[in-house]
Structure 1
Amino acid sequence: MTRTVPQLDTIPEPCRRQAERLAGTPAEWALLAHNRRQTTWRTRGPQGSWTVRVGTHDGAAVLARHTAALRRTCTAVPALSYGRHAVSGHLGTIAWLITPWLEGPTTWKALEPAREGSWERREPLAAAVALAAAVARLHQAGWVHGNIQPHHAIHQPDGNIALLDVTWTSHHQHLRPSGRFRGGPVQLASPELLARAEDATAPAYTTQSDDTYTLAASLWWASSGTWHHDFTKAGIASTRGLPTTYLRRVLLTEIMPRSTLTAWPELEEALATVLWAPEPQRPTALQLAQWLRELM
């Protein structure tokens, strides 16, 4: 089936005017991502670069949730301060969100030397510490991110971290968990989150403890290119393309073999302390950040 590539004229005129007023004219537009719910563009002009997200129908509701979370966190969480400059709007069944373009590599990219077997560990380790510390500050402000992944953080040139994809971020007072969330990538999810996601009668809400588990799982994946569960030893050659429900039930019902970080046992020890601790004894993101810092 041929996928239709969205054209610039599909962007609502008020959205396009707002973006070009921020970027300046003439503005260049580049399509970054597109699915049935949301389209993401980059616009660049003499006054700067901006990310433009446009959601339609149910994608508009998801984007509205993202916007609400960013508005509420941007003054309380340093890693989301870029949200102070966000501009949003809606027109009928279409919503949009315009945020500053964020320069810098993702955590996935920052840890690439470790995946490639480099013995130079200081920079990848500094990136891991920075992400853990950013999540710890989010938690200290009372928030839960809800969808931590190595592709959902930008390591900026000034040394600061920007957390992305805050659609499912929540706070016990300021923003309740969304009933739309079903748990994120199962390979990174805590056992408790997997169990909640399996129960279709209740929202798959996330906790700070779930965040910390997913943080450790994300760092394991980004530093090695492998999951912390050894799916191959469990008889699953690859998780790519397998239904989420199937993988979730395997993780909930099978005793999964552990992977190892043979080339980096010190990192394995720090992450394993989070990943295989019983939930009541699971360390915090702040503790993980401190342990990682001690490895530098």
Structure 2
Amino acid sequence: MSSSGPELPIVVLEALMPTSQRLVLNRRGSSVWDVESGRGRYAVKLGYPIEATPEWPAQPWTALAPAREGAVLHRLGADDIAYGEWERGTWNVQPWREGLDLYRLWEPCRIEGSSVEPHTSVALGCVEALAELHAKGWAHGDVQPAHFIIGPERTHLIDLALARGGHVPEGYDFRFRGCLVHYEAPEIARSVLATGEAEPTQEADIYALGASLLISATGWRAVEYPDDAPRSVQREAVANGKRRPVKAPGELGELIDAMLSHAAGDRPTIYEVGKTLS
């Protein structure tokens, strides 16, 4: 993460009138700000295109991602959401979600020799957040540990820019080209390898949630491949089902193993996962 990034656009500054602002994430194609104002505390996301490099092709869709997420949140009935365009791409404003993400919260479980075990109530909170989205007919498409924020009252599922399940304005829409391969279901990986794109599904979300719980609890990816392997090699491993044994403790381990089933139809639904945990 870089300490510097694009400045907040004038339209956002005029809307929020910040009393403080802090850049919390600055990566290729996007930045996220923590903004305090008289109206409350907000996350502000800016998107801009990724230029081509010798290692990476250009990625113009990143410029559209914040507005697409804003449109999705509106469709889902979220309050206090705004989005629009700026000179380099799009932006959105949404309420700040206080808490630790799943990976950070379960860090004590991953310390060698630790007796701390992953608490099922935390896993259930993640399940409930995803179940709420699935109940509305949507698939998230980018389930990963960093997107579950465990707050003092509930768990929030964030970063819905890749979600599918309802209408999104054509000017802000773009094709789904996969997500972080660590959490990509085999059928998604196969489709991306074959065609360059895929269709997010609730079954793929279940796989991604299982992979997220596994890596957060144990530090191990669901599929074995070299850390520095090219993305295509990673996807080949996922598509071929080169699974590691699940070593999460007890009932959680058995559940994760079922969620990581190679065939989408063999995975439990989010409601079955929740019933098992509760």
Taking the TM superposition and a 5 Å limit, the aligned residue runs for 1:48-59 are 48-57=40-49, 58=60, 59=62
Aligned with residue 72 of structure 2, among 69, 72, 76: 69
Letter in 1 for 2:47: G
**One-letter code aligned to 2:35:** T
Cα pair distance change 1:288/1:4, threshold 3 Å: closer
Determine the C-alpha separation between the residues in 2 that align with 1:33 and 1:143: 27
Check whether the contact 1:132–1:285 (CA below 8 A) recurs between aligned residues: yes
The separation in 1 between residues aligned to 2:8 and 2:169, in whole angstroms, is: 30
What secondary structure sits across from 2:141 in the alignment? coil
1:256 paired residue number: 242
**Could you tell me how far apart the structure 2 residues matched to 1:128 and 1:51 are?**
24
Change (3 A) 1:5 1:176: closer
Supply the distance in 2 between the matched residues of 1:105 and 1:204 (Cα, whole angstroms): 30
Aligned to 2:21: 29
Alpha-carbon deviation of 1:128? Answer: 0.4
Instruction: Give the AA of the match of 1:6.
Output: G
CA distance in 2, matches of 1:69, 1:257: 33
Q: 2:164 aligns to what?
A: 170
Superposition map of 1:1-296 within 5 A: 5-6=4-5, 10-20=7-17, 23=18, 27-45=19-37, 47-57=39-49, 58=60, 59-73=62-76, 75=77, 83-116=78-111, 118-121=114-117, 124-158=119-153, 160-171=154-165, 173-175=166-168, 179-200=174-195, 203-229=197-223, 231=224, 236=225, 238-239=226-227, 241-253=228-240, 256-261=242-247, 264-276=249-261, 278-293=263-278
Larger Rg: 1
Structure 2: 5+ residue runs without aligned partners? 50-59
Query: Secondary structure, in 3 states, of the residue corresponding to 2:119?
Result: helix
Residues paired across the two proteins, number: 263
Q: CA deviation at 1:278?
A: 3.0
TM-score of the pair, normalised by structure 2: 0.84
Q: Residue 100 of structure 2 aligns to a residue in which SS?
A: coil
Q: Could you tell me which amino acid in structure 1 is paired with residue 64 of structure 2?
A: A
Per-residue CA distance 1:210-242 (angstroms, 9 max, x = gap): 11111111111111111123x2xxxx4x42x32
Identity across the alignment (%): 26
Q: Structure 2 vs 1, CA of residues 55 and 257 (structure 1 numbering), >3 Å: closer, same or farther?
A: closer
Q: What CA distance in whole angstroms lies between the structure 2 residues aligned with 1:179 and 1:99?
A: 21
Secondary structure at the aligned position of 2:24 is classed as: strand
